[in-house]
Copies of this chain bind each other. A is one copy, B any other.
């Protein structure tokens, strides 16, 4: 670990220049003035990004297919009928999101698969598995909830019809939105043998430590749920304070309590409320209802459980002090589950061979690979995010780290395709 991530991993070559040039092209689609992108799922900007990737893949001998939930696959079938190494991430972004989040992982996957294809052709090596570059649909979940929708449906964790029926705030369903951009496929995606994903860290650990690669061993557990805070609509001026049952005040107390909960477990528990809908949301009306999306995450399932119990007690106290009712309307739990240790070992060995500094990590954010690892052995890699900035137009990863990540992912994909992790399970 003597090589800091701020220095080039090696002199830049044609492959690096191709990655950086493609990334610049990709980042121009849906670009915002402040250096980010806005490409929410199944919007026109998302469609143009997908079209860009499709052309790129076709130009390099891949075929493409789209499944029923809009996951886009670029296929290279070396072994007819064999299952696939799925390598990818997502092209959709948050509103005014960063240009690296997801898009880097898809582009890295495309380059890695293409380099592996060239290498197999050049060496005459016969891979054991095929490769598919994947753009998982709607990872961000900003337009359509929940996040990681495409990989959830692919892995059977979410019902297709249920996902199709989800609406955005304008009432457009996922199915309608997919059809509108021509991304509503009529078949399933390819069968998976293994999976891999590379992503920016979205935290500051690698950046602070000057380490180039994070080898993800596990995800944090997350408990996401929606609540409705129910009050009574009244006049902001004339209603006596003691007669009010103010849904927005109840929601505000929940948001504050949620933050205080995180402060009780410094570094161990992350909490947040990022979305609120208030009814009627009129300046002179005490709100009758507020809907909140709550998000609690920890690497320690016991802490998460304790936090849930404490929050329930807070809900009861808020109900008692404000007269509102708090009703849970949706609930979604990800447990702490490890990435397969043999995959981590494979990636570590590859990083060592390439001379890339590395460290084991957990992921606090959800990724498509969080779903994939539950059905096939999956490798998850991180590259540094400068200052940990993410879901923000200022998101930034250095070019040298971008290129090193593609190098490592290429080696991982090659190994997975040649069956390095194949204990006979997946064929």
Contacts and interface: CB of A to CB of B under 8 A. Distances in A.
Nearest to A256: B252
Contacts of A286: 272, 274, 391
Nearest to A294: B283
A411 interface: no
Interface string A345-371: 000000000000000000111100000
Interface stretch (A48-56, A58-66, A73-81, A263-271): A263-271
Contacts of A252: 251-253, 255-256, 273
Interface in A378-423: 388-393
Interface of A: 94-96, 140-142, 145, 147, 201-204, 220, 222, 224, 232-241, 243-244, 246, 248-249, 251-253, 255-256, 259, 262-263, 266-267, 270-276, 278-288, 293, 295, 297, 363-366, 388-393
Contacts of A288: 96, 392
A238 B276 CA distance: 20
Given A232-B392, A236-B272, A365-B238, A204 B243 contact: yes
Given A94-B284, A236-B270, 15 more contacts: A94-B285, A95-B282, A141-B283, A220-B237, A234-B391, A235-B391, A240-B267, A241-B263, A249-B255, A274-B285, A274-B286, A275-B278, A275-B283, A282-B391, A285-B391
B238 A284 contact: no
Contacts of A287: 274
B284 A391 contact: yes
Contacts of A96: 233, 280, 288
A276 B277 CA distance: 9
Contact of A270 (B203, B237, B393): B237
Contact of A203 (B232, B236, B238, B246): B238
Nearest to A290: B276
A388 B238 CA distance: 8
B224 A283 contact: yes
Nearest to A246: B272
A265 to B, nearest CB: 9
B203 A239 contact: yes
Nearest to A393: B233
Contacts of A388: 238-240, 243
Nearest to A224: B283
A237 B222 contact: yes
3 pairs of A and B residues whose beta carbons are closest in the complex: A252-B255, A95-B280, A142-B282
Given A262-B241, A391-B235, A392-B233, A281 B276 contact: yes
9 contacts: A142-B284, A204-B240, A235-B365, A237-B270, A249-B255, A249-B259, A251-B252, A282-B391, A284-B295
Contacts of A279: 95
A366 B237 contact: yes
Contacts of A241: 259, 262-263, 266-267, 270-271
A253 B260 CA distance: 12
B275 A364 contact: no
A314 to B, nearest CB: 13
A234 B96 CA distance: 11
A273 B295 contact: no
Nearest to A385: B238
Contact of A276 (B236, B271, B278, B365): B278
B365 A237 contact: yes
B240 A203 contact: yes
A292 B235 CA distance: 17
Most buried by B among A220, A266, A272, A286: A272
Contacts of A366: 237
Contacts of A243: 204, 388
